[in-house]
Amino acid sequence: MQLHIHKKYLLLPALVALMLSCNRNVLDVKNLNAVEPKLTWTDPKLANAFLANLYNRVMPNGWPARSAALYGGLPVDEKRGVINSTTIQTTSHPWSGSFEDSYADIRQVNILLKEIESGTLDAATKDKIVGQALFLRAYSYFLMVRVYGGVPLLLEPQNLTDSLKVPRASTAEVFNAINTDLDKSIQLLQGQPFVDGDKGRIGLGAVLALKGRVALYKASPLFNPAHPYDNAYWQDAYNANVTAKTQLDAMGFGLNADYAGIWSTGNEGNKEAVLTVKFTAPTKTDGRNEQGARPLSQTANATGADNPVWSMVKAYTMKDGYPAGSSPNYAYSDQTFWQNRDPRFNASIVWNGSIYETGGIAGRRQYTDDILATATDSYSPNPSTSNWSFTGLYARKGLQPELKAAEVAQNSVDWIEIRYAEVLLNLAEAANETGHTADAITLLRQLRQRAGIEAGADNSYGITTTNRDAVRGLIYNERFVEFIFEGQRFWDLKRARTLLSLNGTVQQGVASTLKPSNLPVDNAKKNAYGYVSEDFNYTINTLYRTTVDNVTFTLTDNVYFAPIPLAQIQKNPNLKQTLGWGDGTFNPTLE
């Protein structure tokens, strides 16, 4: 098969602005568009520029709200928006990017892996580039296998004009290919926590952590519905995550000292960041979508992104680690739902009357009620007004409140694709399923200690059970609050095969109304942000799609794996459709 490499896939001008994974001198070459393809693999700068383009193609282009291709933007019980049977019954499935685009990305990785072997790069340079490229191919296939199960395995470059006539490999074969690439990458990146010390590039830590994540998925109920917690893959997951944690510890990774500080400017590349997509103002900005996440009065013509729902609020424990309503130390009421909660609540969520100093306005409080809030921020869910779909809550995590409203697009908070906390929770889950429940509890307590939850007299951090099933539930809830807005919740419910537990439920928000004792409004007090959260009454309301139609979750069992897009099957009759979709016969599980 003759290989044609088009220059547009090599060194586009966009690479100059990209620089997400390479030092500036890597791209310091003249007339990039005039470079002959064969020279790419003789010059380290050109080879690394090709690699930088692969990073840009494969890795997320920001936080989940900016990365629908990787995360689907599906909110489930975390943030506003409901998925149901009509959402998923489409030929272009919302849980992944374009099927065809995924293979275009893989093709470019395959070109690198093939062509670099005929180049003249020194062994050390070549090994580092190949190690990163193998990770990117493994990552690409992982994103697909968790959506579709088995997919065609293409490990050699094809012509751009070739038709895809390759049948689907089994799910087991795809997992094997992913692990083969990761194992090779591990060998090539030994001694490289980050390649060349650049924290925007893949290193050994990222490869080990991804291998642990992949193993956790492979062992999960998603792929093993008949043997969800008694299959042999759990031991593999445990071993992989023990190795990842051990090596990450040795390389100096660990939990950041405080939860909120993980995403604070000036603390980029902290020791929790195992794999980072860098953002730097003014060249690469707003990966967090601050423009959409802020209240409308404090942004520029956009709002409504990442608005937490009431089920997210209820997921946080009290500050002693006990569930709301079960704490022996702190009473809970919906009327004071923000009081004495897990500190991650305040670090992540803005509620009515809470301090939210956007635009650098000292002491500014965010109001969402229908009286004190500006017309643009009146955001309480109320079916009798136009606010029938609003939650009364905003996002705080990952935003830069010091930015003025006109500057919101300059948000430069890095996206951390893999952080150390995930490795701890991956290990905790695998430990719990392999007879190491006590170790799992220790890891959970470590996360809660960092969060600022009180240890208690017995140093339990609110965890008093040793029951395997109960600890499993605690792990999933810990992931829920730890990873809010990080695109993990939907995939956790999918991985655990618990998405259908949402059926019949509705999303809710919290409406706020000034107490009668605070009326009429004191304008001086209002203008000084003098009304506090306790000055309001709160009502939990259902979110509505229209003023008369509330939306419930209605999911069926075929949601766990996506259909191959019909257009792809029409192009390639060798592709079998997924079981549960049309006349599909392909089994995407490992059973």
Q: Where are the domains of the chain?
A: 1-58+98-188+565-591, 70-95+286-413+450-560
User: Looking at residue 87, what is its pLDDT?
Assistant: 55
User: Looking at residue 427, what is its pLDDT?
Assistant: 99
Contact 442, 248 (CB under 8 A): no
Look-up of token digits 């300059």: 410
What is each CA distance from 493 to 88, 333, 553, 559, in whole angstroms? 16, 28, 14, 11
Neighbours of 178 (CB within 10 A): 26
User: Looking at residue 555, what is its pLDDT?
Assistant: 86
User: Looking at residue 83, what is its pLDDT?
Assistant: 64
What distance in Å separates the CA atoms of residue 75 and residue 82, rounded to the nearest whole number?
A: 7
Q: Coil, strand, or helix at residue 135?
A: helix
What distance in Å separates the CA atoms of residue 563 and residue 92, rounded to the nearest whole number?
A: 8
Output the CA torsion 183→187→189→191 (10° steps). 130
What distance in Å separates the CA atoms of residue 254 and residue 68, rounded to the nearest whole number?
A: 29
What distance in Å separates the CA atoms of residue 589 and residue 591, rounded to the nearest whole number?
A: 5
**DSSP assignment of 369-415:** SSSSS-TTT-----TTSS-TT--S-EE-TT--TTS-GGGGGG--PPE
User: Looking at residue 560, what is its pLDDT?
Assistant: 92
User: Looking at residue 28, what is its pLDDT?
Assistant: 38
What distance in Å separates the CA atoms of residue 207 and residue 79, rounded to the nearest whole number?
A: 30
How far from chain centre, in Å, is Cα 218? 18
Q: Does domain 1-58+98-188+565-591 have CATH number 1.25.40.890?
A: yes
User: Looking at residue 12, what is its pLDDT?
Assistant: 33
User: Looking at residue 302, what is its pLDDT?
Assistant: 76
One pLDDT digit (tens) per residue for the chain, 591 residues: 222 233 333 333 333 333 333 333 333 344 444 456 778 999 999 999 999 999 999 998 888 866 554 444 567 899 887 766 555 544 344 444 578 888 989 999 999 999 999 999 999 999 999 999 999 999 999 999 999 999 999 999 876 555 568 999 999 999 999 999 999 999 999 999 999 899 999 999 999 999 999 999 999 999 999 999 999 999 999 999 999 999 999 999 999 999 999 999 889 899 999 999 999 999 999 899 998 899 989 998 777 788 999 999 999 999 999 999 999 999 999 999 999 999 999 999 999 999 999 998 999 999 999 899 988 888 778 766 666 778 999 999 999 999 999 999 999 999 999 999 999 999 999 999 999 999 999 999 999 999 999 999 999 999 999 999 999 999 999 999 999 999 999 899 999 999 999 999 989 999 999 999 999 999 999 999 999 999 999 999 988 766 666 678 888 898 899 888 888 888 889 999 999 999 999 999 999
User: Looking at residue 8, what is its pLDDT?
Assistant: 32
User: Looking at residue 164, what is its pLDDT?
Assistant: 60
| Of 417, 372, 374, 411, the residue nearest 395 (C-alpha) | 411
Contact 446, 261 (CB under 8 A): no
Q: Coil, strand, or helix at residue 512?
A: strand
What is each CA distance from 148 to 70, 139, 215, 452, 579, in whole angstroms? 13, 14, 17, 39, 10
What distance in Å separates the CA atoms of residue 113 and residue 155, rounded to the nearest whole number?
A: 9
**DSSP assignment of 140-196:** HHHHHHHHHSS-----S---TT----PPPPPHHHHHHHHHHHHHHHHHHTTT-SSGG
The amino acid sitting at 246 is: T
Output the CA torsion 249→250→252→254 (10° steps). 0
